[in-house]
């Protein structure tokens, strides 16, 4: 692969992570009028609609132009893992354990991605990856707990956070296998979200879900949902899948380490929150960890 495509892959991964790192601002605005599951539902609906507009199904000879069945089941499982289960596990975990616990445990996704890639794609794991993972995780823990030695564990919430990281790993590997077949990323992402929404509908009655469409007439609510659904879901899943197709799931997943870094920088700039010395050290360790993970040669 040429250096130009490598650069495009890194830019696509960084764009996805940057947007995901700032979604907390819009989510906080919506948590008063909406429940977490309601936000999830509206985001998915908007993502599906946006992708149907951008990449509508093509008709060929009067029949729907579909992927081969061998890719279709992979796309279906990717929708279940990367959309339905990932978002559900994350949202439910937040109701049982600390947000700091969730952010740290979900950041183990690169390790799970590497292990699944080694098993499914037979990708070699380098010493640098594990060194980078260790450095980045220490940095993420410092940021999440800001130097506090008080760690409050909740078995159910923490387990759900780890499961969220695990299903994201399977999603990333599935996307790599699907992209290897030459499928268009917008088309694949549209179908992934369609299946994700389909799998989500049966679980809505289990949670506090109200349709109440009049809440969408409030402009801040609508704009926040549009950003979270169209940009943070539809567009960023496309750019993330594009990065995975160019860089591979292991290298792309290392960008997940940057989510808390982006969040803390944006919090300082937008919400005027102070970056402490401990958080600064954590940010430096995350960058060192990413640099180690991205190195081609084994140390």
For 64, phi then psi, to 5°, come to: -65, 125
Please check whether residue 71 lies inside any domain of the structure.
yes
Per-residue model confidence as pLDDT tens digits over 57-93? 764 444 444 445 667 889 999 999 999 999 888 878 8
User: Per-residue pLDDT averaged across 229-244, rounded?
Assistant: 93
If one compares 43 and 183, the residue with the highest pLDDT of the two is 43
> What mean pLDDT is predicted for residues 5-20?
92
Give the 3-state secondary structure of residue 63.
strand
pLDDT band at 96; cut points 50, 70, 90? confident
Number of domains in the chain: 1
Whether the per-residue pLDDT at 21 is higher than 90: the answer is: no
| Sequence-distant (≥ 6) Cβ neighbours of residue 66 within 8 angstroms | 72
Residue 1 has pLDDT above 70, yes or no: no
**Residue 13 and residue 241 in contact, taking contact as beta carbons nearer than 8 Å:** no
pLDDT over 90 percentage in the chain: 35
Mean per-residue pLDDT over the chain, rounded: 84
- Which pLDDT score, from 0 to 100, does residue 69 have? 62
> Around 174, how many Cα atoms within 13 Å sit in the side-chain half-sphere?
23
| Residue 106 counted as domain residue | yes
What per-residue confidence (pLDDT) applies to 147? 57
Contact (Cβ atoms closer than 8 angstroms) between residue 51 and residue 234 = yes
Instruction: Assess contact for 121 and 173: CB atoms under 8 A.
Output: yes
Rg (CA), the chain: 19
Residue 64 placed within a domain: yes
- Mean pLDDT for 23-37 is 83
Cβ atoms 293, 128 nearer than 8 A: yes
Specify the residue for token string 């929404």: 197
pLDDT interval class at 296 (50, 70, 90): low
Model pLDDT, residue 64: 44
The domain in which residue 218 lies consists of 3-294
Report residue 81 as tokens: 């893992």
Residue 97: both structure tokens together? 């354990």
Asked whether residue 299 is domain-assigned, the answer is: no
What's the pLDDT band for 292 if we cut at 50, 70, 90? Answer: confident
pLDDT band at 272 (very low <50, low <70, confident <90, very high): confident
- CA pair distance 254, 261, nearest whole angstrom: 13
Q: Would you state the pLDDT for residue 298?
A: 40
- 38 belongs to a structural domain: yes
pLDDT band at 225 (very low <50, low <70, confident <90, very high): very high
What's the CA gap between 225 and 46, in Å, rounded? 8
Token digits for 35? 């429940």
Compute the CA torsion angle 205, 83, 16, 14 (nearest 10 deg): 130
- Residue 12's pLDDT band (cuts 50, 70, 90): very high
Across the range 214-242, mean pLDDT stands at 93
Whether 287 maps to a domain, the answer reads: yes
First to last CA, the chain: 23
73 falls within a domain: yes
Cα 173 to Cα 250: distance, rounded to the nearest angstrom: 9
């Amino acid at each position: 692969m040429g250096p130009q495509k490598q650069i495009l892959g890194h830019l696509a991964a960084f764009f996805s992570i940057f947007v995901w790192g700032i979604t907390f601002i819009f989510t906080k605005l919506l948590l008063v009028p909406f429940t977490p599951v309601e936000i999830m539902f509206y985001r998915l609906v908007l993502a599906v609609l946006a992708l149907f507009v951008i990449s509508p199904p093509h008709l060929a000879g009067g029949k729907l132009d579909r992927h081969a069945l061998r890719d279709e089941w992979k796309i279906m499982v990717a929708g279940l893992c990367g959309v339905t289960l990932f978002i559900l596990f994350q949202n439910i975990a937040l109701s049982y354990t600390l947000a700091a616990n969730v952010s740290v445990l979900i950041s183990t996704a690169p390790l799970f991605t590497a292990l699944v890639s080694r098993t499914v794609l037979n990708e070699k794991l380098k010493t640098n990856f594990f060194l980078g993972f260790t450095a980045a995780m220490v940095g993420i823990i410092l940021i999440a707990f800001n130097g506090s030695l008080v760690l409050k564990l909740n078995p159910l919430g923490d387990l759900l956070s780890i499961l969220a990281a695990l299903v994201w790993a399977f999603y990333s590997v599935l996307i790599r296998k699907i992209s290897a077949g030459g499928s268009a990323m917008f088309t694949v992402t549209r179908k992934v979200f369609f299946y994700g929404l389909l799998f989500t509908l049966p679980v809505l009655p289990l949670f506090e879900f109200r349709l109440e469409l009049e809440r969408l007439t409030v402009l801040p609510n609508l704009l926040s949902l549009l950003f979270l659904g169209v940009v943070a879901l539809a567009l960023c899943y496309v750019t993330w899948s594009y990065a995975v197709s160019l860089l591979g799931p292991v290298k792309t997943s290392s960008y997940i380490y940057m989510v808390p870094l982006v969040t803390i920088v944006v919090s300082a700039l937008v919400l005027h929150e102070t970056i402490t010395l401990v958080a600064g050290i954590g940010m430096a360790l995350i960058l060192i960890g990413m640099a180690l993970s991205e190195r081609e040669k084994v140390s």
